[in-house]
């Protein structure tokens, strides 16, 4: 018996080797079930699926896409009428790693980011909701106590407010498919098969595809889109090789949506989303031109706010199934040349990796590579300088007839209140929060409130902007986190 056990242990040691996932490593996941201050209770189980590979410094894949993390809701602080606390809070704890072909491992993690969310996360991993007073609607609400002294003025104002400036929902609600990034607190030892160095689902790009990509790049007059000759904008950072149908199937399986055309209705919807601080999954995109041509397709993905989203525009190379893309992440609002628009994260390599990882998860990518190119970024004096390693990702799509679909919210909106309930609660909340006593009480509480824990983010603190070719040399010093890409797992993928 002992001899048999020793033999098994010897065989396992011969086929597996121990790798260490260091403290501070980040894991990107998607929730498999909704959570929120309105629907969750402390102790409720939670589960999330890993959507991007986690790699060691030597390129070994330690955690593959498709692994899961499970845990529990640690604490729930519902805002309610706002008399007990100033904002809603939610704390999640993911503490068990389930490997697809391995054992379950205890892991100590802390929530760091809720992707494209209006909520913030403190350094100790607590999600803080928006303040009820931090919105356009509250500005109107302050008039209600005065106007209600004259009902024939107050009631119409309240009715108009509900129609055009309704209070946003300050409770926290994360639907199925919400993307989180968690940081590993304590180093974790993981056994991986000997010889494993790459994600087998993504093959290196073929020599013919590499030659095709370089040929297309060489023929482009410029590789940077613009808003006019004097206003350069997004830099091309991905080249897709595949048909429009393949692109559509892949992006929809990954949870991305298209963009609607500009109209009076879409303008109203954008206003509504800004006031109520909600998302607009198919929001129109500003028109950018590449070599004088507007984009042929757009895709985007967000969560619960219009101010943040992942998005990209695509230009089809003439008479081919090749699509150049500029992928960027909107991170806030800004005033640009006299109008309100989005501000983008200048570190575009993270968004390049985000897009490629999402499509790789679906199984719709056959091969990929990062290739060098001759490029020169034109700076827009009104925008942050683009920072990149200068490479472009080239990916070959397959037919994507049977993709692995990312977890997505239920189409019936289960777990969220109805529009009638939202309107009724908005009126009730305004009356409670906007009367003179509540306004005075909350103002005094906010003045005496101790500073909240510093909000953390995996969005990186870097030094002064550097030109693209210089960035790579300083990357380790200036980045707290750079999103890993499935392309990084292939030694042949960096050409």
**For residue 120, what is the domain's CATH number?**
2.40.128.260
Cα separation, 49 vs 31, in Å, equals: 7
pLDDT along the chain (495 residues), means of 10: 50 64 93 96 97 84 92 93 81 95 90 95 94 58 52 58 70 96 93 57 89 95 88 94 98 96 91 85 92 95 94 96 96 77 90 96 95 84 84 96 92 58 64 59 60 44 36 37 72 47
d(CA 101, CA 67): 9
Alpha-carbon distance of 41 to 45, in angstroms, equals 9
Kindly give the interhelix angle for 244-253 and 348-362, rounded to the nearest 10 degrees.
90
Question: What residues make up the domain containing 386?
Answer: 203-407+480-493
Q: 350 and 432 share a domain?
A: no
pTM, rounded to two decimals: 0.83
Please name the helix (run of DSSP H) or strand (run of DSSP E) that holds residue 339, with its range, or none.
Answer: strand 339-344
Count up the domains in the chain and report the number: 2
Helices (H), ranges, 148-263: 151-164, 207-218, 244-253
Do 321 and 352 fall into the same domain? Answer: yes
44 and 163 together in one domain: yes
For the beta carbon of residue 191, count every other beta carbon within 10 angstroms: 16
The encoded tokens of residue 375 equal 């490029």
Assigned domain for 291 exists: yes
Residues 398 and 381 both lie in one domain: yes
Do 398 and 428 belong together in one domain?
Answer: no
Model pLDDT, residue 56: 81
- Kindly state whether residues 427 and 334 are assigned to the same domain: no
Residue 4 lies in a domain: no
Does one domain contain both 352 and 431?
A: no
**Confidence at residue 477, expressed as pLDDT on a 0 to 100 scale:** 36
**Beta bridge mates, 35:** 174
β-bridge partners, 344: 330
Angle made by CA atoms 262, 237, 61, in degrees to the nearest 5: 120
Residue 2 lies in a domain: no
| Contact present, 332 and 274 (Cβ < 8 Å) | no
Q: Are residues 216 and 313 in the same domain?
A: yes
In this structure, are 309 and 384 located in the same domain?
yes
The confidence score (pLDDT) of residue 110 equals 97
| CA–CA separation, 239 and 314 (whole Å) | 9
Whether residues 210 and 353 fall in one domain: yes
Tell whether 109 and 248 lie within a shared domain: no
Instruction: Count how many Cα atoms sit within 13 Å of the Cα of residue 112 in the half-sphere of its side chain.
Output: 19
- Helix count and strand count (H, E) for the chain: 11, 27
């Amino acid at each position: 018996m002992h001899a048999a056990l020793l033999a098994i242990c010897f065989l396992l040691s011969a086929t597996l080797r121990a790798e260490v996932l260091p403290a501070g490593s980040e894991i990107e996941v998607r929730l498999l079930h909704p959570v929120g201050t309105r629907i969750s209770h402390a102790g409720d189980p939670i589960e999330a699926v890993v959507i991007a590979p986690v790699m060691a410094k030597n390129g070994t894949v330690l955690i593959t896409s498709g692994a899961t993390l499970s845990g529990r809701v640690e604490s729930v602080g519902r805002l309610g009428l706002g008399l007990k606390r100033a904002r809603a809070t939610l704390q999640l704890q993911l503490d068990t790693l389930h490997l697809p072909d391995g054992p379950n491992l205890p892991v100590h993690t802390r929530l760091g980011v809720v992707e494209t969310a209006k909520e913030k996360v403190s350094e100790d991993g607590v999600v803080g909701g928006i303040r009820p007073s931090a919105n356009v609607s509250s500005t109107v609400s302050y008039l209600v106590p005065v106007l209600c002294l004259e009902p024939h003025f107050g009631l119409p104002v309240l009715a108009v407010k509900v129609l055009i400036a309704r209070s946003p929902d300050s409770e926290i609600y994360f639907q199925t498919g919400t993307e989180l990034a968690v940081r590993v607190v304590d180093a974790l030892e993981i056994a991986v098969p000997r010889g494993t160095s790459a994600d087998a689902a993504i093959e290196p790009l073929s020599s013919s595809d590499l030659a095709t990509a370089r040929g297309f790049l060489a023929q482009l007059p410029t590789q940077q889109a613009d808003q006019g000759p004097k206003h350069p904008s997004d830099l091309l950072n991905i080249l897709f090789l595949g048909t429009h149908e393949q692109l559509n199937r892949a992006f929809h399986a990954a949870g991305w949506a298209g963009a609607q055309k500009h109209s009076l209705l879409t303008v109203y919807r954008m206003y509504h989303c800004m006031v109520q601080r909600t998302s607009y999954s198919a929001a129109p995109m500003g028109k950018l031109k590449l070599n004088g041509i507007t984009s042929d397709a757009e895709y985007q993905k967000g969560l619960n706010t219009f101010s943040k989203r992942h998005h990209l525009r695509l230009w089809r190379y003439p008479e081919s199934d090749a699509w150049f893309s500029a992928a960027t992440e909107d991170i806030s609002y800004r005033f640009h040349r006299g109008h309100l628009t989005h501000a983008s994260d200048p570190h575009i390599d993270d968004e390049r990796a985000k897009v490629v990882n999402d499509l790789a998860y679906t199984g719709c990518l056959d091969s990929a590579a990062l290739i060098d190119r001759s490029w020169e970024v034109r700076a827009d004096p009104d925008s942050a300088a683009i920072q990149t390693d200068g490479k472009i990702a080239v990916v070959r799509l397959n037919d994507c007839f049977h993709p692995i679909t990312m977890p997505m919210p239920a189409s019936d909106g289960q777990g969220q209140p109805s529009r009638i309930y939202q309107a009724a609660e908005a009126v009730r909340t305004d009356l409670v929060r906007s009367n003179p006593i509540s306004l005075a009480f909350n103002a005094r509480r906010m003045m005496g409130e101790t500073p909240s824990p510093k909000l953390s983010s995996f969005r990186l603190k870097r030094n002064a902007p550097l030109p693209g070719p210089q960035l790579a040399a300083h990357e380790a010093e200036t980045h707290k986190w750079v999103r890993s890409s499935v392309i990084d797992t292939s030694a042949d993928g960096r050409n």
